Chains A and B, each alone.
Chain A
Amino acid sequence: MKLIQSLEDLEQARAEAAERQKSAAAVNIHIRIGMASCGIAAGAKDTLRVIQQIIASQGLSGIQVIKTGCLGLCVLEPIVQVQMHNQPTITYGRVTPEVARRIIEQHVKRGMIVPEYIVESY
C-alpha cells in the first residue's frame, strides 16, 4: 500500500478506502456488533458467531459485519446495530444468539424491525 506523504495523499488514501469498502460485493446492509471487553464479557462472541453462521449457511449477500468498540451502553451489551440501505441505524441491546437469529430473520431479511430489543434514544 502506498505511503501517505502529503495531505493530497491522505485524501487519495481516503478515497481508496471508501472504494475498498464499497467494492466489497455491493454492500448495502451493515451490521455492527460491539466487541469491546464489556461486549465480549456479555457474550458478543457467541452472537457474532451465530450471525456469521446464518449469513454463511443461507448464502445471504450484500451484508457486511463490522466489529466495533463500545458505545457506552455497557449494561445493554451485547449491542448489535443494523443499518439497511442507508436508512437510520437501529440499535438493539441484550442480543443473545436467539435474538440475533430473530434480528436476521425479521429485520435483515424482511425489513421488519424487532421492537422488543430496540435501545431507545440512540
Chain B
Amino acid sequence: MKPIRSMVLVSNDPVSIEHGAGDVFQALQAEIRRLGLDEEVRVSTIADVGDWEETPLVIIYPEAVVYSPVTAEDVPVLVEEHLLQGHIVKSLLGKMHEPVGEIAWLRARLGALPVQQRVVLSRAGIIDPESLDDYLLHDGYNALGKALTRMTPAQVIAEVEKSDLQGRGGAGFPTGRKWAFVRSAQGQPKYVICNADESEPGTFKDRLILEGDPFSVIEAMTIAGYAVGAQEGYIYIRGEYRLAYDRLENAIQQATQRGLLGEHIFGTDFNFHIHLHAGAGAYICGEETALIESIEGKRGQPRPRPPYPPTYGLWGKPTLVNNVETLANIPPILRNGAEWFHQFGTERSRGTKVYTILGNVNFTGVIEVPLGITLREVIEIYGKGMKRGAQLKLVQTGGSSGSIVPASLQDTPMDFESWRKAGVSLGSGALLICDEHTCVVDLAKVILQFFRFESCAKCAPCRVGTQRLYELMSEISQGRGAPEHLDEILILGRDMELLSNCGLGQTASVAVRDILKYFRDEVEEHIYQRHCRAGVCQIPGLPPAEFSAIQQPAAQAD
C-alpha cells in the first residue's frame, strides 16, 4: 500500500457550506478516485478556519497551500495540476493573510512554537509544580469538580468516548472504550494504574508532564477512578525519575489535605487514594502486565494475554492502565467538552501529540503539536533544520521498539491512521532524527544490543532471538557478514514477531526489518564490498580470518 503523500482539507464552517463546500468536497473525492489517487491522497474537512472573506477554502498539505474561493468547477484543474503534476495553481490561490480563527492546524504551520495551543503541556513550565495554589489558579480541579458534582460516571465515559481520544502510550487504543470495558467488567474492587514507567530510549515526554504539572495527572486519575468505579490508584513511576516522584508525592499530599483526594472528594461519597510505586529500572515493566506483576511484588515479567487488564489486572481485578499523556488529556477534555477537543488534529486522530525531538537537528526538546502534521514540518519548523545543513537520512519513531522512517516518507501526515497505513507505528512519541552520517548497520546493532539486554528471558523467541539478531548485525558491521545472514534476520524477525509473549519481543525486530526494507543496499554494501558508506563501521581491509590473526596481538599491545 502506498503511503499518504498529500492531505486535502476543505473548510466546512457554516459560511463555507453556504458557498458550496459540500459540492467541492464531493467533487474532490470523485476526481481523486477517478485518477486513482485515493490511496495516496486523503480528503478531510476542517471546521474553523478563522476570518477568511472568500470561502470555501481548500488547503493542501504538505505544501500548506491555501486555495480560495474554490468551486466544484475548479476541482478537476486543481487535482490534475496540484495533486497529479505537483504544480501550484496560482490563479486559484487565496489571498494570503494570517489566519485568526482557533485553528490549530494552520497555527502550527506558521512557524512559531505556539504555547497557547498546548493541551497537555499548557501548564508545564508556566506554573510552580509544587504549589496546589498555582494549579488552582490555572483551571486546576475544574474538571474533577464538574465530573463529580454534575456528571454521572456514564456521562464522563461518554464524553471521553465522544472526544475520540486515543491512547498515547503507543498502541493508540480508544481511551473511552477502554474505560467502558473496565466499568462494565465484573469484580470488585477495581484499580486505576497510571503507566509512568517511561523507559523507551529517547522518550521523555511523561517526565516533562510529571515534573511540570503533576496535579493534572492526579486529577485525571481521580476522574478515571470515578468513571470506572475504582477507589484505588497506582502510579508506576520509572525508578530514575526521582524528581518526578518527589513532586508527585508532594502533589498527592497537598491534594489530600484539601479534600481533593482521599475520602468524600468534593463532598460526595466518592473516595479515591493514589499510591506511588517506583520501578527498579527494567524496560519490560513498561509493558502493562509486567507492570502489574511488579506492583504485586513479583518479578516483572509479562503475563500471557488474554485475559487483558480490563478484566484481569492488578490482584486479578479489573484494572485500567493509562499512559501519563493520555491521562493529562482528560481534564482539558472534561473542562472544555469533547467538541472543543475535535479542533485539534485530524478527523481520525483527534488531539495533539507530545513529541520529543532528538538527533541531528538544531533544536532538541519537547513539542506538542496537532496530530497530522508531517515529519518534514517537525524537522524544518520545530527542529529548526538539520544540523550543519546535512541531509535527512531516516527518522526512528517511538524509541527502540519504533519504526524506521526513511526520508522519502517524511511528507506522510503523522496521525495514527496515516502511519498505520504506511506501516509505521507512531509509538511513544520519540523522534530520533538521523542525518547521512548515520550508518544503518550500526544503528541496528545499537538497537539490538538494547533489546538483548532488556529481554526478560521468559519466552525463548525473544530471549534467543534478540541475542542472535545482535550477533548477526555485529558480524555484518565488522565485515564478516554473509549474504544468507539477511534472510536469517528476516525469518528470525518474523518468528519473533509472531511467537513472542509480549511487545518487547514482538517489536525488537521492527527496526531491523525496516532497515532491510528501505536500506538493504547499504547493508549489502557491508557484506559484498566490505564498505561502510557513512564511515562508521570499522571494517578492516583484509579478509576476516587473516585480519583477526594479524591484528589482534597488535591491538592488545596498545
Answer whether A75 and B125 are a contact pair too, CB < 8 Å, given A5-B259, A36-B212. no
- With both beta carbons as reference points, the residue of chain A lying nearest to B126 in the complex is identified as A68
Q: How far is the CA of A85 from the CA of B102 in the complex (A)?
A: 28
Residue in chain A with minimal CB distance to B115: A122
A17–B136 contact, CB under 8 A?
Answer: yes
B145 interface neighbour in A10, A21, A122, Cβ under 8 Å: A10
Q: Give the residue of B212, B243, B365 whose beta carbon is less than 8 angstroms from that of A73.
A: B365
Taking CB atoms, residues of chain B closer than 8 Å to A10 are 136, 141-142, 145, 266
Known contacts A21-B137, A121-B113; A74 and B365 CB within 8 A of each other: yes
Please tell me if the beta carbons of B368 and A72 are within 8 angstroms of each other in the complex: yes
Residue in chain B with minimal CB distance to A75: B364
Q: Please tell me if A60 contacts chain B, counting CB pairs below 8 Å.
A: no
- A36/B112 contact (C-beta < 8 A), A68-B126, A71-B125, A74-B366 known: no
Contact A72 B243 (CB under 8 A): no
Q: Do A69 and B208 touch across chains, with their CB atoms under 8 A apart?
A: yes
Q: How far is the CA of A5 from the CA of B141 in the complex (A)?
A: 12
Q: Does B364 contact A74, Cβ atoms closer than 8 Å? A: yes
CB of B137 within 8 A of CB of A69, answer no
Residue B260, interface by CB 8 Å = yes
| A4 CB–B CB distance under 8 Å | yes
* Bound CA span A58–B509, Å: 61
A1 interface contact, C-beta 8 A: yes
Query: Could you say which residues of chain A place their CB within 8 Å of the CB of B125?
Result: 32, 34, 36, 68-72, 79
Distance in angstroms between the alpha carbons of A3 and B141 in the assembled complex: 13
| Residue pair A1, B127 in contact (C-beta under 8 Å) | no
Q: Mark A14-39, 1 if CB is under 8 A from B, else 0.
A: 10011011000000000010101110
Contact B365 A75 (CB under 8 A): yes
Residue interface mask A52-95, B partner, CB < 8 A = 1: 00000000000000111111111110010000000000000000
In angstroms, how far is the closest chain A Cβ from the Cβ of B111?
7
* Residue pair B141, A4 in contact (C-beta under 8 Å): yes
A14 to B62, CA, bound (A): 44
Residues of B246-260 at the interface with A, using a CB-CB cut-off of 8 Å, are: 257-260
Verify B266–A6 contact, CB threshold 8 A. yes
Q: With an 8 A cutoff between CB atoms, is A51 at the interface?
A: no
B53 at the interface (CB under 8 A from A): no
Q: Are B130 and A67 in contact (CB under 8 A)?
A: yes
Q: Within 8 Å of chain A (Cβ to Cβ): is B129?
A: yes
Annotate B384-417 by CB proximity to A: 1 below 8 A, 0 otherwise. 0000000000000000000000000000000000
The reply on B363 being an interface residue by CB < 8 A is yes
Q: Is the CB of B258 within 8 A of A72?
A: no
Bound Cα distance from A12 to B118, whole angstroms? 27
* Chain B residues closer than 8 Å to A13, beta-carbon distance: 136, 258
B352-376 contact mask (Cβ, 8 Å, vs A): 1 or 0 = 0000000000011111100000000
Tell me the minimal C-beta distance from A22 to chain B in angstroms. 11
- A 94-105 binary contact with B (CB < 8 Å = 1; else 0): 000000000000
B239-287: which residues lie under 8 A (CB-CB) from chain A?
241, 243-244, 257-260, 264, 266-267
- The reply to whether A4 and B260 contact each other, CB–CB distance below 8 Å, is yes
Asked if B128 CB lies within 8 Å of chain A CBs, one says: yes
| A-facing residues in B101-159 (Cβ within 8 Å) | 111-113, 115, 121, 124-130, 132-134, 136-137, 141-142, 145-146, 149
Most buried by A among B127, B128, B130: B128
Minimum CB–CB distance for A41 against chain B, Å: 10
Asked if B211 and A36 make an inter-chain contact with CB atoms under 8 angstroms apart, the answer reads: yes
Name the distance in Å between A100's Cβ and chain B's nearest Cβ: 18
Other-chain contact of A70, B130, B208, B257, B259 (Cβ < 8 Å): B208
Chain A residues with a Cβ closer than 8 Å to the other chain, count: 35
Contact yes or no, B258 A1, CB < 8 A:
yes
Contact of B128 with A68 in the complex, beta carbons under 8 Å: yes
Question: Bound state CA distance, A37 and B366, in angstroms?
Answer: 13
Q: Mark B206-246, 1 if CB is under 8 A from A, else 0.
A: 01100111000000000000000000000000000101100
What chain A residues lie within 8 Å of B136 (beta carbons)? 10, 13-14, 17
The reply to whether the CB of A114 lies closer than 8 angstroms to some CB of chain B is no
Knowing A1-B258, A14-B136, A20-B133, the reply to whether A36 touches B208 (Cβ < 8 A) is yes
Assess whether B208 is in contact with A72, with CB atoms less than 8 Å apart: yes
Q: B211 to A5, Cβ gap below 8 A? A: no
Within the assembled complex, what's the spacing in Å between the Cα atoms of A73 and B266?
A: 37
Asked whether, in the complex, the Cβ of B113 is within 8 Å of the Cβ of A68, the reply is no
A50 touches B (CB below 8 Å): no
Chain B 488-531, CB-CB to A under 8 Å as 1, else 0, gives: 00000000000000000000000000000000000000000000
Which of B137, B266, B366 contacts A72, CB < 8 Å?
B366
Contact assessment for B258 and A70 in the assembled complex, using a CB-CB cutoff below 8 Å: no
Chain A CB within 10 Å, residue with most, of B208, B367, B368: B208
A116 to chain B, nearest CB (A): 18
Instruction: Please determine whether A70 and B212 come into contact, CB atoms closer than 8 angstroms.
Output: yes
Q: How far is the CA of A4 from the CA of B145 in the complex (A)?
A: 10
* Bound-complex Cα distance A38 to B211 (A): 10
Q: Which residues of B contact A7 (CB under 8 A)?
A: 145-146, 149, 266
With the chains together, A66 CA to B149 CA distance in Å? 33
**Which chain B residue shows the least CB distance to A16?**
B133
A79 to B115, CA, bound (A): 15
The answer on a CB contact under 8 Å between B212 and A75 is: no
Q: Which of B149, B266, B363 contacts A75 (CB 8 A)?
A: B363
A40 interface contact, C-beta 8 A: yes
B113 contacts across to A, CB distance below 8 A: 72, 121-122
For B363, the chain A residues whose CB sits under 8 A away are 73, 75
A7 to B365, CA, bound (A): 37
**Nearest residue in A to B144 (C-beta to C-beta)?**
A10
**How many angstroms from the CA of A20 to the CA of B132 in the assembled complex?**
12
Task: Write the nearest CB–CB distance from B210 to chain A, whole angstroms.
Answer: 9
Closest 7 A-B residue pairs measured CB to CB? Answer: A69-B212, A71-B125, A3-B259, A5-B267, A72-B366, A17-B133, A74-B365
* 9 A–B contacts, CB within 8 A, in A order: A7-B145, A9-B267, A13-B136, A17-B136, A21-B137, A71-B125, A76-B365, A121-B113, A122-B113
If A68-B128, A75-B365 are given as contacts, then 13 extra A-B residue pairs at C-beta distance below 8 Å, sorted by A number, are A2-B258, A4-B141, A7-B149, A13-B258, A32-B125, A36-B211, A36-B243, A37-B241, A37-B244, A68-B124, A68-B125, A73-B363, A73-B365
